[in-house]
Structure 1
Amino acid sequence: MATGWAREGAVQEQIDATIADAVAHARQQLHQGASLSHCAHCDEPIARARQVALPGVRLCVDCQTREDEKRAHSSGYNRRGSKDSQLR
């Protein structure tokens, strides 16, 4: 594959690095510690089934949904100088 000035294998290394960054970010988002009995944002009770399913959970379903929506709008991985990230 012709890559211009990039050395052979640079594209795959970029892809691998992007995936490794995404995995590291996902691991950082995992819950840790004991689950809360009430939501840290709205103080509503967190269902016992949710506490068991997600050890370390801190938010109720509604608040977690809102947090996930906020992250979805603001997330964007830097593709380490790829054209896609430069065009955004």
Structure 2
Amino acid sequence: MAGGFAKDGAVQEQIDASITDEINRARSRLPQGESALCCDDCDKAIPEARRLAVPGVRLCIGCQELADKAQTASAGYNRRGSKDSQLR
């Protein structure tokens, strides 16, 4: 039961839309194409097992760990206008 101007199920729709947005964002960051033989950053050889396990890989494990740590997930803003996002 929704109160005020919100229709029934509006909260669940907002949750579903947020999850879908995050899934699409994560999928867009996955490597695509053919794997590199050497790391793009340090030029070390990328092991064959890694190239087979992660299609489109461009970095060795060490450089990938550094890239993952440097990358921060941005919450962005809530374009659906919930009060929670307005309080931040």
- Which TM-score band applies after superposition, normalised by the shorter structure? 0.7 to 0.9
TM-score by length of structure 1 reads: 0.80
Q: Which has the higher contact order (CA 8 A, sep 6+)?
A: 1
Q: Tell me which residue corresponds to 2:37.
A: 37
- Where structure 2 has 5 or more consecutive residues not aligned to the other structure, the ranges are none
- Where structure 1 has 5 or more consecutive residues not aligned to the other structure, the ranges are none
Q: Percent identity?
A: 54
TM-score by length of structure 2 reads: 0.80
Q: Tell me which residue corresponds to 2:16.
A: 16
Runs of 4+ displaced beyond 4 Å: none
Matched pairs, number: 87
- Equivalent residues in 2 for 1:7-86 (5 A)? 7-71=7-71, 73-79=72-78, 80-86=80-86
Deviations 1:8-48 (A, max 9, x none): 21111101110110111122122211100111112121111
RMSD of aligned Cα (Å): 1.9
